Structure 1
């Protein structure tokens, strides 16, 4: 799947998320990259920023946005069908958005999102 098609799939899955999950996202951008910096295919996504629970000040002007990154090639390597790919992108989005809200990997694992 080419980059443009994958990005469209990410947008579609983002649109399917509950409003109360995405409405609170402030100063966050979603980015698709081919692979993580180390070149591996092990990482599906990454939250790059400060979670709400770790911010001592929030919303000050001039701050760069936090980023939620989805790795296209990692997803493609992990999924055999389009349905599997949609499910994995959805799960990755929920997982990384949860990090924005301060939910750690241990709790996400307990909830079935890790």
Structure 2
């Protein structure tokens, strides 16, 4: 049993399964448009901070005129440790992963943080 003051713990594999589950629950039209994008789970951002939950690393669809053939896939990165630090239990974690996925996928479609904030996804 976990104490309220201890952080929520989940190993990399279990966290990755939750990410896949949440991806499966996203609307097909949101996922089907993702061209040359891979989803990656990493423990934490390069700077080691726990502030960033996810990252879209690539060119938005709206900027892909600069995109060459044979480019490496864009990456949507979900950071495990910041999510665990922000959440008290699995339900909260699932909600946060879901929001992070929608947020980063929206960046792929060229939706910026200001608009995401207006829509309630920031």
Count of residues paired in the alignment: 113
Q: TM-score, normalised by structure 2?
A: 0.90
Number of the residue aligned with 1:20: 29
Please state how far the C-alpha of 1:57 moved relative to its aligned partner.
4.9
Q: TM-score, normalised by structure 1?
A: 0.96
SS in 2 for 1:68: strand
* Distance of 1:52 and 1:19 partners within structure 2: 17
Please state how far the C-alpha of 1:61 moved relative to its aligned partner.
3.1
Output aligned runs, 1:1-114, within 5 Å. 1-58=10-67, 60-114=68-122
List alignment gaps of at least 5 residues for structure 1. none
* Greater gyration radius: 2
Runs of 4+ in 1 over 2 A off after TM superposition: none
Q: Deviations over 1:5-35 (max 9, x none)?
A: 0000000000000001000001000000000
List alignment gaps of at least 5 residues for structure 2. 1-9
Instruction: Give RMSD over aligned pairs.
Output: 0.9
